[in-house]
Structure 1
């Protein structure tokens, strides 16, 4: 775009060409527009430099004046501070003389009052003099007539503890005069206290208290010439004004006069010997208006600002005209580029249906160029021949403004004869005057979206077919609502079309759900409060097995949370019929129970000869006792006492035989497992009693040890005894098969407490001196129907481990080595003290609960 500003030398003043050669060359290399800008900026820069020079000169002079004023303030304040210091030191010396006379007992209370009255009358800043003993009691006191009644100190009164305790302690420690500013109320006159210690034979005997009026101290201590030139004030340690006057802060009268009222010069110095507790401050009165208040400054500034404003206004007017032309061209180019880069085809019709404009995208879609389309009327060349009637009706609706905002779908023919699907959106075309001049239509190629939509529909049909054919019930419902979002065929067969079955399975399975409400007044209540929102959409599912009475089936329910297609949080429940599996588990449990009883019968069958030998002893004794009593009765040699003794022995032998038979019957009897709190020593004793018969038959020595104070275990004692008997019997057989000498034929049973993985347990160990277990036997030790004995069934150890694991325990086996030789084998199992498993866990372990 060419610069619209004329550069004719007759139209504007020619720019000044710099005389320096290198500057002249630089100037000629600039464009005319840049030369105009430099020519416009040069006068403005000169005006600004002139204004900056004037301001700098004024400011420099003002700084010089401020430095002189500050030096004068500092000098006068230090002079006033010296005068005030000398006055305080004179009063301090006079009070110290009185304190010395009091300490030497040269002054009584009456004379003290007289001398105090003379000092107070002579020196107006001294308001109160008091003699206070070490017990904080006022011995004598005199106050000036201007002291308020609430600040009077009368003889015989006792000062408050909080008022003088810290001061007395300080004076007693340092034994030097101490100045203090007491905290006063809103109505009290600011005072300065001087405490001079009294000493009686090197002992602290109180203080002489002198109180100065801070206002009088400022009035009579500061020279009059200083008070005339400055606003003098006395401040405390916190910066509060105690006496004097203070000039208002900068801008306090009117905020817009901040620059017109410069901050006054001030100087502060602590008052000695008071120290940091009292500060003397002087503020100088303003005698000049400063730089900003100078009329000459404002005149020069105003003229410079007006000149700069006119130069800037002229320059901005020129720049606005140039920018307007550039913006117009840029806007036209931008609109043309936007129309050319759009992927949506644009077509404009006038009020009679004639094409007035098409963009490149429209031409690219149809294959016809702009010259072939502009000016054409219906039928248009991109209309398919078979859709002419339908398209003519659509065009009539478009020209009469009856097209909806959703647009309509048509088929469009390319120049090569191919067709594609398109959607047209029509809107009125309004000109710059607000009058409708035609209709604008935007066309989008929707062939690919239609193809994707068809594929999605086919995919949805396949997905629905798969879900309908599943042998599991699938249902989806949103949280907090009773709407059923999805249900497959099996769910509909079981529960129908409502969410009753879904909610019933969720509630029965104990899966997290939210309370539902239909009260519209609770719309503002968050129904998802308490849900674990951080994990609701995770892939982990919750499983549960429930029994549905209406169906008479066992169902395995799995649930998970998901985001539905509309963004709502939903819960999917998958229910599978596991009734056959539950029946199989119940049958397996019953078979395991029968296998345990069979194992006990087999064990007792193997021990039959030993049991018969054990029963033969009491039966033979009974027969001998009976034959002996019959013979002696027939021979009349039986006394009554002998008869009773023999009958008693016979009864004990019969009782022993009955106990043996009863123990065997209770061991082999098939009964339901009954877990009760059982004593470990009792279970071990009964197991030893049963197994000892077999061990004696095999000539194996049995020793057992039960730790004292073992806790009671929640177990079935018959099952635990069965485990112990099997382990003891196997140990005896192992020792017998190893053919150990008599001294080495032993089996040891121990029951001791232990801590395993932080859990309290009772450990049972059976140790034998047999030949141990080979590695291949160790690998298949608990395998069902595996046995190293020719007559063995291979179910003993398998049942033992099942029984132990059903009680939440574990069983282990290991060889015992003596060097490289196997010296025996140790079987051990432990039962936790924390109690028995729940019934469901027992069934899962294969043992009835």
Structure 2
């Protein structure tokens, strides 16, 4: 059995990508192939230049990284050397401090040891012994120090210099380094100093400090190794970057640091331990190389690459111009062919003998005849209807002799199917490149649908005009800023004639805003200022009722803005005769007045019950006062002053009873309260005083909250007090019926300002802890002669609501719930701070019609 060799699949797999590439290449247009061939060398040169730049950048980045690592390593080495030097001085000062704490060293011995330390270590400027009260006991200052470091025995240290460091050493009982202190007497950067304060222990107490002062410049010169200062610019800085010692080269452009070929010198900084972040050691390397940009080989490669790119671009531009010329020719040909094929207008060309030489696809589609069936035909043409051939032949003769009208002419054309449609033809001469006429070009447009639409619009206009002429309202339209009447229906012409004066008079009397631009205001102010900015089709109409003496009629005028057919902004006014309706309204008002008088007579019957109901509180108070005085007089337990006070309260309640009768009588008579400016807090206080007797009788506690700075209200205070008394009394009776325990027997009165329907009001709320209102009672709450109490008359809440509504307020009641349990009821009513115009006053201020109009 022979096994087939697997070489064929391998060859096919290797040639498949090549075959696919060839297939893709052959699919491309010659223009695109030329573009790819031209862009290939350009792309190769650009890739070569990018590779060279990347190589140089990589080498430069490696060099910068090595330099940065070297700087970091050398600065850390210098920081370690400086740290060891500071620790050695710290240890020596700590030994001196222990000797001082153990009282083994006196001031003379201290000065001797301090002198030895200062002379042995040049960076040490001074060593000072300071007691716990910040006084200098002994000090030695280096001869090279300035006057600022001089310390005298018994001298008090300045707080500004060592306050923070001294306090920190006292609290921590550990050596503390201060922030670098600038030398105020030295304007150079090398006068800064650093303090080390070592606390002293005096038998467990703070005994002062040993303060060593270092010259920051000395620390730099003697603490940093010379091999580091020889390679770098080294300096000591504070935590704010201020130079304390040493020198740094000026800062260079920071943007250059972001570039891989930047020749910016490397730098590194590190805090000096054990001082901390207050002292920083910073080193910056000197520039040692030219960088990538300074390399001559780099510029040579860049120049050669740029020259090659320039040559390739010139070749590519020449090729592109040639291709563009070819594409423009092809595009022009395709454009003209596409324009002819996409036109809905039929095109037909005739020679001078009347033979068809050309038709476009639209003409063939319009007539149903193909190009082969039409080209070369002479009159009569197949698309001529039989009954119109004589007319069309005359039209053709006029066309061939140049007698066609410029506006075209209308003809009837027959399709191959036999259907007839209307068309309009336009004729123009055909001129060859030499300027000679070779024939006539005719364009044909199908006007069947536009003609049908025009006929329908004409019929619609006739119907619309008929409807407007038959309306029982006067309709007129006039443009803004002009006294031209654009439209007026039959009724308008009957009332005002054909003049625009009637339209303008209606607008003026109705108070409709309009704008008439003048020559003086055209440049300064827009003449249409004040008109609505909304879309005209959604603008709201404006209604007004006016009386026209010339017609002796009441008219309802409605107006709106619209855009007229010529684009001008116009105003339409519709005036409807409402004289019969006005007469009917006057009759209805007269009947309402008579019904109101009858209602007042009926209310007189209810007045006796209302008086009996409302006089209960003052009469009860008078009875209580009299019984109390009688009991105390019999027991000889009352003085003349107490008797006089009780008699005054009795007289006050009697006067109040008379006021109640007068107010209820006036209320029934006028249906309007006797309003005056009343203080809310005074009304509430009077009501609480009268209701408190009834509440104490039911063992009910009364609490209240009255908001501060309440504005006065225009009310009848007697009536409002009666409403509050009635509501509080009803709350106490509801609590008594519910048999609540003593802890839950309370009535709360709240008076607060509120905003309801964008109107400032005063809200009165009476909350009780009774059993609430059942749904049946809630539905009949304000019904006359309905009461849930055996002795109730059923007119209390009805009268209360009437009083509140007569003050343009509202009353409502709701149950209070704790979960699903009813725990009380709340009656709320509000009175507006500024009452609206009453109906009676509004009627008196309404202008009456002229005499003789009914």
Question: TM-score under structure 2 normalisation?
Answer: 0.54
* Aligned residue pair count: 640
In the alignment, what sits opposite 1:227? 229
1:677 aligns with 2:673: yes
Once residues 462 and 575 of structure 1 are traced to their aligned partners in structure 2, the CA distance between those partners, rounded to angstroms, is 21
Once residues 561 and 428 of structure 2 are traced to their aligned partners in structure 1, the CA distance between those partners, rounded to angstroms, is 44
In the alignment, what sits opposite 1:455? 456
Give the secondary structure class of the aligned counterpart of 2:277: coil
Give the secondary structure class of the aligned counterpart of 1:267: strand
Query: Shift of residue 332 of structure 1?
Result: 3.2
Q: Per-residue CA shift, 1:465-496, capped at 9, x if unaligned?
A: 32233222334567788876655444455567
Q: Per-residue CA shift, 1:213-235, capped at 9, x if unaligned?
A: 55554344322221222233444
Please show how residues 270-669 of structure 1 align to structure 2 within 5 Å. 270-290=271-291, 293-296=294-297, 299=300, 325=326, 328-329=329-330, 332-345=333-346, 359-365=360-366, 384-385=392-393, 387=395, 408-412=407-411, 414=413, 420-422=422-424, 444-475=445-476, 487-491=488-492, 494=495, 513=513, 518=518, 523=523, 533=533, 538=538, 541-549=541-549, 551-560=551-560, 572-594=572-594
In the alignment, what sits opposite 1:780? none
Change (3 A) 1:519 1:314: closer
Once residues 580 and 718 of structure 2 are traced to their aligned partners in structure 1, the CA distance between those partners, rounded to angstroms, is 32
In the alignment, what sits opposite 2:176? 177
In the alignment, what sits opposite 2:716? 712
In the alignment, what sits opposite 2:75? 77
Query: Shift of residue 80 of structure 1?
Result: 1.0
Q: Is the 8 A contact 2:510 2:557 kept in 1?
A: yes
Q: Is the 8 A contact 1:473 1:574 kept in 2?
A: yes
Change (3 A) 1:22 1:501: same
In the alignment, what sits opposite 2:739? none
In the alignment, what sits opposite 1:403? none
Q: Per-residue CA shift, 1:188-216, capped at 9, x if unaligned?
A: 74735435265685666877776655555
Q: Per-residue CA shift, 1:631-690, capped at 9, x if unaligned?
A: xxxxxxxxxxxxxxxxxxxxxxxxxxxxxxxx9xx99xxxx98565359xxxxxxxxxxx
Q: Pick from 223, 244, 249 the counterpart of residue 247 of structure 2.
A: 244
Change (3 A) 1:67 1:502: same
Q: Is the 8 A contact 2:564 2:570 kept in 1?
A: yes
Give the secondary structure class of the aligned counterpart of 1:576: strand
Query: Shift of residue 43 of structure 1?
Result: 8.0
Q: Is the 8 A contact 2:248 2:284 kept in 1?
A: no
Change (3 A) 1:318 1:479: closer
Give the secondary structure class of the aligned counterpart of 2:283: strand
Once residues 338 and 421 of structure 2 are traced to their aligned partners in structure 1, the CA distance between those partners, rounded to angstroms, is 28
In the alignment, what sits opposite 2:690? none
Change (3 A) 1:164 1:535: farther
Query: Shift of residue 81 of structure 1?
Result: 1.0
Give the secondary structure class of the aligned counterpart of 1:283: strand
Once residues 57 and 811 of structure 1 are traced to their aligned partners in structure 2, the CA distance between those partners, rounded to angstroms, is 91
Change (3 A) 1:435 1:214: farther
More displaced stretch, 216-225 vs 177-186: 177-186
1:767 aligns with 2:785: yes
Query: Shift of residue 77 of structure 1?
Result: 1.3
Aligned-CA RMSD value:
6.8
Q: Per-residue CA shift, 1:275-299, capped at 9, x if unaligned?
A: 2233323333343445565445555
Query: Shift of residue 525 of structure 1?
Result: 5.0
Query: Shift of residue 75 of structure 1?
Result: 1.9
Q: Per-residue CA shift, 1:439-486, capped at 9, x if unaligned?
A: 998765444334424433442343233223322233456778887665
Once residues 595 and 569 of structure 2 are traced to their aligned partners in structure 1, the CA distance between those partners, rounded to angstroms, is 51
Change (3 A) 1:599 1:534: closer
Unmatched tracts of structure 2, length 5 or more: 1-9, 385-390, 606-661, 676-712, 720-749, 767-780, 788-800, 813-828, 845-854
Once residues 153 and 62 of structure 1 are traced to their aligned partners in structure 2, the CA distance between those partners, rounded to angstroms, is 53
Change (3 A) 1:292 1:584: same
Once residues 450 and 146 of structure 1 are traced to their aligned partners in structure 2, the CA distance between those partners, rounded to angstroms, is 116
Give the secondary structure class of the aligned counterpart of 2:673: strand
Q: Is the 8 A contact 1:474 1:572 kept in 2?
A: yes
Q: Is the 8 A contact 1:368 1:415 kept in 2?
A: no
In the alignment, what sits opposite 1:27? 18
Once residues 146 and 352 of structure 2 are traced to their aligned partners in structure 1, the CA distance between those partners, rounded to angstroms, is 101
Q: Per-residue CA shift, 1:607-639, capped at 9, x if unaligned?
A: xxxxxxxxxxxxxxxxxxxxxxxxxxxxxxxxx
Q: Is the 8 A contact 1:179 1:192 kept in 2?
A: no
Change (3 A) 1:543 1:146: farther
More displaced stretch, 411-420 vs 66-75: 411-420
In the alignment, what sits opposite 2:795? none
Please show how residues 804-815 of structure 1 align to structure 2 within 5 Å. none
Once residues 427 and 114 of structure 1 are traced to their aligned partners in structure 2, the CA distance between those partners, rounded to angstroms, is 128
Q: Per-residue CA shift, 1:108-136, capped at 9, x if unaligned?
A: 99999999898778766566888888888
Change (3 A) 1:108 1:24: same
Query: Shift of residue 177 of structure 1?
Result: 0.7
Once residues 220 and 267 of structure 1 are traced to their aligned partners in structure 2, the CA distance between those partners, rounded to angstroms, is 20
Q: Is the 8 A contact 2:379 2:393 kept in 1?
A: no
Q: Is the 8 A contact 2:412 2:423 kept in 1?
A: no
Once residues 243 and 442 of structure 2 are traced to their aligned partners in structure 1, the CA distance between those partners, rounded to angstroms, is 82
Q: Is the 8 A contact 1:143 1:152 kept in 2?
A: yes
Query: Shift of residue 395 of structure 1?
Result: 6.8
Change (3 A) 1:56 1:596: closer
Q: Per-residue CA shift, 1:574-622, capped at 9, x if unaligned?
A: 33221211112212332344456578889999xxxxxxxxxxxxxxxxx
Q: Is the 8 A contact 1:358 1:374 kept in 2?
A: yes
Once residues 210 and 276 of structure 2 are traced to their aligned partners in structure 1, the CA distance between those partners, rounded to angstroms, is 20
Once residues 567 and 257 of structure 1 are traced to their aligned partners in structure 2, the CA distance between those partners, rounded to angstroms, is 64
Give the secondary structure class of the aligned counterpart of 1:180: coil
In the alignment, what sits opposite 2:220? 218
Query: Shift of residue 79 of structure 1?
Result: 0.9
Q: Is the 8 A contact 2:128 2:139 kept in 1?
A: yes
Once residues 209 and 434 of structure 1 are traced to their aligned partners in structure 2, the CA distance between those partners, rounded to angstroms, is 114
In the alignment, what sits opposite 1:847? none
Change (3 A) 1:518 1:66: same
Once residues 220 and 435 of structure 1 are traced to their aligned partners in structure 2, the CA distance between those partners, rounded to angstroms, is 108
Once residues 181 and 422 of structure 1 are traced to their aligned partners in structure 2, the CA distance between those partners, rounded to angstroms, is 102
Give the secondary structure class of the aligned counterpart of 2:547: strand
Once residues 508 and 487 of structure 1 are traced to their aligned partners in structure 2, the CA distance between those partners, rounded to angstroms, is 19
Once residues 68 and 108 of structure 1 are traced to their aligned partners in structure 2, the CA distance between those partners, rounded to angstroms, is 56
Once residues 110 and 443 of structure 1 are traced to their aligned partners in structure 2, the CA distance between those partners, rounded to angstroms, is 130
Q: Is the 8 A contact 1:345 1:365 kept in 2?
A: yes
In the alignment, what sits opposite 1:266? 267
In the alignment, what sits opposite 2:86? 88
Once residues 137 and 438 of structure 1 are traced to their aligned partners in structure 2, the CA distance between those partners, rounded to angstroms, is 125
Q: Is the 8 A contact 1:367 1:414 kept in 2?
A: no
